[in-house]
Amino acid sequence: MKPFLSALLLVVCLAFPHPGARAQDWTVTYPRQLPEVAWLKTHQRACFGIDGKTMPSAMADGVNVVIGGTNAGGPDGFAGGHWVLNKEGTGFEAVLTGEPMTPENRERMKRNVREVHARGGKVLGEVIRMNMVPWAQRDHPGWQDMPQPGGKPIKPEELVKNHVLGCWNSPYGDFFIRSQVEMLKQFDLDGYNLDGFGCWSQCYCPSCKSSYQEDTGREIPAGLDVNNPKWRHYVKWRLWRYTRFVERWTKALKAVKPDCVAAPWTTGPGRWWHWMGAPAIEGSDAMHRVLDAPFLELLWDFPPDQGSNLLPSFTVRYYRGLTGDRPAWVLPYLCEQGQFGMQAPQAECDLRNMTVITNGCLAAQGLWQQSNEATLKGFNRQITEREPYTAGARSLKWAALFVGESSRLLYGLSGIRNEVPLGDWMGSGVDSRRMGASLPGERRMPAHMESAVGVFRAMMEDHLPVDMIIEPDLDNYETLKQYKVLILPNAACLSDRMNANITRFVQEGGGLVSMHETSIANEFGDLRKDFGLAGVLGVHFKGTSDHTARWPNYPKWVQVAFNILKPEHPIADHPQMRSNIRGGDRVEFIGWMTNVELVTGTQKVGRRLAAPTEWPFIAINEAKPGRSVYFACDMGQAYFIAPFHYQGRLISNAIRWAARNAPPPIEVKASMAVQAAYYTQNSGKRTIIHLLNELNTTANRALPENNPSMRMEVMPIHDIRILARGLKPARAFLVPGNLPLPVTQTAEGAEVTVPKIHTHALVVLE
């Protein structure tokens, strides 16, 4: 090893030591969230695909964050590029080819950055993956990512053809960080955007094997078998280790430039198949807390029903949760099919951009995503009109919907749901095993994610405030206690610490709504004999029952009996419940169910009619002062996959009841096609209500599995009523346009009526 590189690696390793606990001491830990960079509140209009020639016109059209794109270092590229330090550490060379950066190219890129800064903009240098540079592969073949045990490194002459990755857990990761630091110093970049960011599959390189042995005392298991507990423990370790690597990387950049922004493409759930993949994970959930504004490609790979805005909305709200109630950047693809060149109609483009804004993220653009009607200038004008009311906004805290990494990746019951042949793994609780060969209409997500989407649907239809939270939030009671209600949608994998925090939350007056096998396993997917939350839920686990089915065949459905004439509990007392029942007391249910035994004092609501034993359907436990509602079924998944109308009302009624004497701070009375989201600014002195019109006037006439009609026009929605409990605003107005709204003060709070919205509007109370 050259003296320069040896010294470099020693300094980096000493400054950012790898975590190392022994096997009996190692536990999953989470980093502290980064302070927010100030310029992210003033510079939010990012655009990809810009080079030196197109930069002036793009910035004239409103862009203030410039990103080159995949070919950022090309002939007329822009800043960044696919460059790393050369062997001597005196210059840069192309990652894939080893071609040195010429002095002319270096000066051109510096000039481009200076010109953007002179126009008041920011620059994110773009790079792509940690591909092995030829000299490093020749001198250090052990630094290569090694996905197969006993595999041999790719030879240097094969690198361009194979695009081999360097392992971030090896000294190549430290070298890559050093290269990023030098790029920042020399080109005065304002941050980076990296494509292919993540830990990907397991690695058997020397560094990974030795560090896993050091941290856990174990060998890396062979294969990708989720049924193997050794593999599940390894995956959690690898995700944890990658989070620590990202933390070192971010700290190294901020040591040079504190307001440098880390903004890579990360887990990519906007691509339908990324929620199905394990262990080819692009990164951990927790790593988002040590990034500033990660990027997401939305609608790259379409869900089967393009006429539905449910999954795109869920995805953006989920990303807001990943970043800890701060905005991420989302690039909504504005094409009609996948990545083909056909531009979607303007009404559809506007909806996609406003879906991002409504759900708390920043809508980025691509220079190529324009038509004569849907223009970059028009998109940026829409964003600019709303920026005073989105910059620095924080969500209105009421309900928290937990979406957990461990339950997404590791959950299942041996012999029932997670026995999937090697190579076909796509998550637990799914019907189709081979995602690539499945038709769009047959693609499924992990059971926990489907459950979370179903709960989100019910809450959107009832216009309830909701944040999404992740595992670091359940691990930190200070975050959890901000909320009145916690929803656990079949969150099977919870650590003992998380269970303790949830128990404390309920004991101190919080409301809990949980489903199916929540807490039946620990954070590694290892099954418990009983629910970890049995004391709070008021039930004991006795097994599961499969009543799943999909159109057009329903062979395993089951009936549930409710007392409709004299409801057993307020959550089952609603006209929508009664309207779903044609005489008698029976409703149907399609989905997974749990067999539970009630603890003395727990109230049963509804009963499953499954001979020879009837099982409770809902368990109510008033923990005094908190409340718990437990669905002995995966109600969330059912409401997404094979729904009946009563299920959405039961979910939202349960959430409202669990909140006890803390009803939603804002009530919106509007069509179910109106999505509402709630934020505050200025330490709560300003309340902002987003209203998004999701109506599709094409009536979804095309085949859902391939090409549903997109929105080609906008049908306005009229007379939306809003009640803001406990507020006495001096004024209310509608954005865009700053239209004054009359305020009526009532005993409950302030009431306003919005006369009409088109695609999107903001109601501002201050």
Question: Would you list the DSSP string of 604-616?
Answer: EEEEEEETTEEEE
In a domain, 349, yes or no: no
Regarding whether 761 and 612 lie in a shared domain, the answer is no
pLDDT greater than 50 at residue 421: no
Q: How far apart are CA 493 and CA 165, in angstroms?
A: 31
Q: What percent of the chain has pLDDT over 70?
A: 85
Least confident of 221-225, 403-407, 474-478, 623-627: 221-225
Q: How does pLDDT run across 596-615, given as a tens digit for each residue?
A: 999 999 999 999 987 778 99
Q: What percent of the chain has pLDDT over 90?
A: 62
Q: How many domains does the chain have?
A: 3
Give the pLDDT confidence score for residue 226 in this predicted structure.
79
Map 166-227 to HEC letters. ECCCCHHHHHHHHHHHHHHHHHCCCEEEEECCCCECCCCCHHHHHHHHHHHCCCCCCCCCCC
Tokens of 734: 């509608």
Regarding whether 675 and 654 lie in a shared domain, the answer is no
Give the pLDDT confidence score for residue 25 in this predicted structure.
54
Range of the domain at 431: 399-658
Regarding whether 653 and 676 lie in a shared domain, the answer is no
H or E element that contains 106: helix 103-118
Res. 723 pLDDT band, cuts 50 70 90: very high
Q: How far apart are CA 462 and CA 675, in angstroms?
A: 9
CATH number of the domain that residue 593 is part of? 3.40.50.880
Q: How far apart are CA 161 and CA 163, in angstroms?
A: 6
In a domain, 525, yes or no: yes
How far from 617 is each of 165, 171, 238, 320, CA to CA, in Å?
50, 54, 38, 33
CATH number of the domain that residue 121 is part of? 3.20.20
Give the pLDDT confidence score for residue 8 in this predicted structure.
34
Res. 304 pLDDT band, cuts 50 70 90: low
Res. 6 pLDDT band, cuts 50 70 90: very low
Give the pLDDT confidence score for residue 529 in this predicted structure.
95
Rg (CA), the chain: 26
Q: How far apart are CA 404 and CA 285, in angstroms?
A: 8
Give the pLDDT confidence score for residue 276 in this predicted structure.
55
In a domain, 510, yes or no: yes
Q: Report which of residues 435 and 332 the model is more confident about.
A: 332
Nearest CA to 76 among 52, 40, 94? 52
Least confident of 125-134, 473-482, 538-547, 717-726: 125-134
Give the pLDDT confidence score for residue 185 in this predicted structure.
93
- CA angle in degrees (0–180, nearest 5) for 618-615-485: 15
Regarding whether 631 and 496 lie in a shared domain, the answer is yes
H helix runs in 620-674, sequence order: 635-641, 645-658
Per DSSP, 736 falls in state: T
Which of 128-142, 332-346, 592-606 is most confident? 592-606
Tokens of 403: 């979406």
> CA dihedral defined by 406, 408, 413, 418, rounded to 10 degrees?
-120
pLDDT greater than 60 at residue 95: yes
Three-state DSSP class for residue 51: coil
Q: Report which of residues 29 and 539 the model is more confident about.
A: 539
Least confident of 337-341, 422-426, 444-448: 422-426
- Mean pLDDT over residues 649-670, rounded? 96
Question: Would you list the DSSP string of 402-461?
Answer: E--HHHHHH---TTTT----TT----SS-S-S-TTTS-GGG----HHHHHHHHHHHHHHH
Q: How does pLDDT run across 34-89, given as a tens digit for each residue?
A: 999 999 999 999 999 888 889 999 999 999 999 975 444 455 555 445 788 999 99
* Cis peptide, bond prior to residue 612, ω within 30 of zero: yes
Per DSSP, 272 falls in state: G
Regarding whether 56 and 17 lie in a shared domain, the answer is yes
Tokens of 631: 């669905």
Give the pLDDT confidence score for residue 579 in this predicted structure.
77
Regarding whether 412 and 268 lie in a shared domain, the answer is no
Nearest CA to 404 among 529, 504, 521, 507? 521
Q: How does pLDDT run across 366-376, given as a tens digit for each residue?
A: 998 989 999 99
pLDDT greater than 50 at residue 145: yes
Give the pLDDT confidence score for residue 154 in this predicted structure.
80
pLDDT greater than 70 at residue 624: yes
Q: How far apart are CA 367 and CA 50, in angstroms?
A: 7
Least confident of 20-29, 186-195, 341-350, 683-692: 20-29
Least confident of 168-177, 463-472, 555-564: 555-564
CB 536 within 8 A of CB 623: yes
Give the pLDDT confidence score for residue 201 in this predicted structure.
66
In a domain, 93, yes or no: yes
Residue 167 has a CB neighbour count (10 Å cut-off) of 24
- Mean pLDDT over residues 312-323, rounded? 94
Least confident of 277-291, 373-387, 630-644: 277-291
Per DSSP, 285 falls in state: S
Query: 337: which strand partners?
Result: none
Regarding whether 648 and 727 lie in a shared domain, the answer is no
Map 86-99 to HEC letters. CCCCCCEEECCCCC
Give the pLDDT confidence score for residue 648 in this predicted structure.
95
CATH number of the domain that residue 753 is part of? 2.60.40.1180
Nearest CA to 453 among 353, 315, 355? 315
- CA angle in degrees (0–180, nearest 5) for 293-355-691: 120
Give the pLDDT confidence score for residue 302 in this predicted structure.
57
Regarding whether 281 and 155 lie in a shared domain, the answer is yes
Per DSSP, 141 falls in state: G
Decide which of 267, 293, 319 is a domain's last residue.
293
Decide which of 264, 293, 322 is a domain's last residue.
293
Regarding whether 674 and 630 lie in a shared domain, the answer is no
**Average per-residue pLDDT for the chain:** 86
Least confident of 361-370, 442-451, 715-724: 442-451
Least confident of 34-38, 413-417, 446-450, 591-595: 413-417
Residue 197: partners with Cβ closer than 8 Å, 6 or more residues away: 129, 264, 265, 266, 282, 283
How far from 618 is each of 457, 635, 643, CA to CA, in Å?
20, 10, 17
Q: Report which of residues 305 and 179 the model is more confident about.
A: 179
Decide which of 658, 682, 704 is a domain's last residue.
658
Q: How far apart are CA 594 and CA 600, in angstroms?
A: 18
Res. 215 pLDDT band, cuts 50 70 90: very high
Sign of CA dihedral 576, 579, 583, 588: negative
Half-sphere exposure of 163 (CA within 13 A, CB side): 4
Regarding whether 685 and 577 lie in a shared domain, the answer is no
Res. 426 pLDDT band, cuts 50 70 90: very low
CB 240 within 8 A of CB 246: no
Q: How far apart are CA 79 and CA 183, in angstroms?
A: 9
pLDDT greater than 70 at residue 571: yes
Regarding whether 606 and 676 lie in a shared domain, the answer is no
In a domain, 377, yes or no: no
Regarding whether 653 and 608 lie in a shared domain, the answer is yes
Q: How far apart are CA 465 and CA 666, in angstroms?
A: 8
Q: How far apart are CA 448 and CA 429, in angstroms?
A: 8
Q: Report which of residues 207 and 20 the model is more confident about.
A: 207
The edge-to-edge listing of strands for the beta sheet with 122-128 is: 261-262, 191-195, 122-128, 65-67, 46-48, 365-366
In a domain, 546, yes or no: yes
Give the pLDDT confidence score for residue 280 in this predicted structure.
52
Length of the chain: 766
pTM of the complete model: 0.92
Nearest CA to 263 among 66, 71, 409, 31? 66
Q: How does pLDDT run across 183-199, given as a tens digit for each residue?
A: 999 999 999 998 878 77
pLDDT greater than 60 at residue 440: no
In a domain, 531, yes or no: yes
Do strands 749-757 and 717-725 pair parallel, antiparallel, or not at all (unpaired)? antiparallel
pLDDT greater than 90 at residue 725: yes
Give the pLDDT confidence score for residue 99 in this predicted structure.
84
Query: 167: which strand partners?
Result: none
Q: How far apart are CA 355 and CA 311, in angstroms?
A: 11
Give the pLDDT confidence score for residue 665 in this predicted structure.
97
- Mean pLDDT over residues 317-342, rounded? 87
In a domain, 721, yes or no: yes
